[in-house]
Amino acid sequence: MTAVAGGTSAAEGAGSGEDAFLAAFDAAVAAEERIEPRDWMPDAYRATLVRQMAQHAHSEIIGMQPEANWITRAPSLRRKAILMAKVQDEAGHGLYLYSATETLGTGRDELLDKLHAGRQKYSSIFNYPTLTWADVGAIGWLVDGAAITNQVPLCRCSYGPYARAMIRICKEESFHQRQGFELLLALSEGTPEQHAMAQDAVDRWWWPSLMMFGPPDGESAHSAQSTAWKIKRFSNDELRQRFVDICVPQAEALGLTLPDPDLRWNEEKGGHDFGTVDWSEFQAVLKGNGPCNEERITQRRRAHEDGAWVRDAAAAYAAKQAAGSDEKAVAA
């Protein structure tokens, strides 16, 4: 967007010029132009982006924990290498997203402090335990599958840096989803014990995966405004429906069943009917009372404290390098 570029803050836009800035912003959004970091934007747009992107970034780095739980116990070197690459990808996704929030004037330190203090959320899904190796497959197939369904539309988000980060993230998530499917297929077609392990994992991860799309539309506090701003392109329920419709034939191909007796094709609506998500469980997990909330946040805080010396060393090295290049510049 160029029309309002240079009007970089709400304060600058306050007063007589604000209406013009807002009109230019609204016109840019309506015309499907991208809003870029130096463009004027409403404070509430900035705040909602920081909220959503921070929650997304936190999900990526907390999401490393349940998967990393299986790195040492992966059943072959090939599976171990794949899982390590996947967990490393999640860290990278976190970095893209924290960098994108920095373009809105909110640094990573501030966001991490809020996460550690319990003032910002991460996806409910990562408060469930990974009990068996099959859970690594179920996370790939269902959790990454749900993430892709939710995140592909975000590649068209009105805020440029977020949209561009999502393009790369979605490409990588697509590999993740396929490795999960392939892992589950190998188990499903293996011994009866392996098949049962795969089915048990799908039984436990199915409903929490449906919760990843957020509360039902009628209870979604932010949807209307985020849709008007073209941050969100589809509602929580629309994406949840899309995910169910994608998963049903994939479950058949896997030879596994989805744990929902109400799941059936509805010719009239051209999609599957499915049972009701237990929203009381979702709310309990959001309030910190899921099976692993405590464990995840404790581990995250510990990792942050243990990593303090690395951050200090990197900052000292950067300062030394900068001083060195200043000296060279003076000498030249």
- Token couple for 99: 């960098």
Find the shortest distance in angstroms from Cβ 52 to ligand BYC: 4
Is residue 1 classed exposed, middle or buried when 0-12, 13-18 and 19+ CB atoms within 10 A define those classes?
Answer: buried
Helix residue spans in the chain (DSSP H): 10-13, 18-30, 43-62, 64-68, 77-102, 108-116, 134-138, 144-151, 160-188, 192-211, 223-228, 236-254, 279-286, 293-306, 308-331
Q: How far is the CB of 72 from ligand BYC (least distance, A)?
A: 19
Shorter beta-carbon distance to ligand BYC: residue 41 or 146: 146
- 143, 209 in Cβ contact below 8 A? yes
Nearer Cβ to ligand BYC (151/199)? 151
* Residue 205 near residue 123 (C-beta atoms within 8 A): no
Q: Which is nearer to ligand BYC, 195 or 240 (CB)?
A: 240
- Cβ nearer to ligand BYC, comparing 99 with 194: 99
State the minimum distance, in angstroms, from the CB of residue 44 to ligand BYC: 13
Q: Which residues bind ligand BYC (CB under 6 A)?
A: 51-52, 55-56, 59-60, 63, 90, 121, 123-124, 143-144, 147, 150-151, 211-215, 220-223, 226, 236, 286
Distance CA 136, CA 132 (A): 8
Matching residue, tokens 């436990």:
204
Residue nearest to ligand BYC (CB): 63
The nearest distance, CB 233 to ligand BYC, in angstroms, is: 10
Residue number, 41 or 148, with CB nearest to ligand BYC? 148
Residue with the two structure tokens 């469930």: 128
Q: Which is nearer to ligand BYC, 4 or 285 (CB)?
A: 285
Q: For residues 8 and 220, which CB has a smaller minimum distance to ligand BYC in the complex?
A: 220
Amino acid, single-letter form, for residue 213: F
Task: Name the residue type at position 110.
Answer: E
Q: Quote the CA–CA distance of 245 and 314 in Å, as a whole number.
A: 47
- Residue whose pair of structure tokens reads 């979604």 in the numeric block: 220
In the complex, least distance from residue 282 CB atom to ligand BYC, rounded to whole angstroms: 7
Least CB distance to ligand BYC at residue 167 (A): 14
In the complex, least distance from residue 166 CB atom to ligand BYC, rounded to whole angstroms: 9
CA torsion angle for 182, 183, 185, 187 (degrees, to 10)?
A: 160
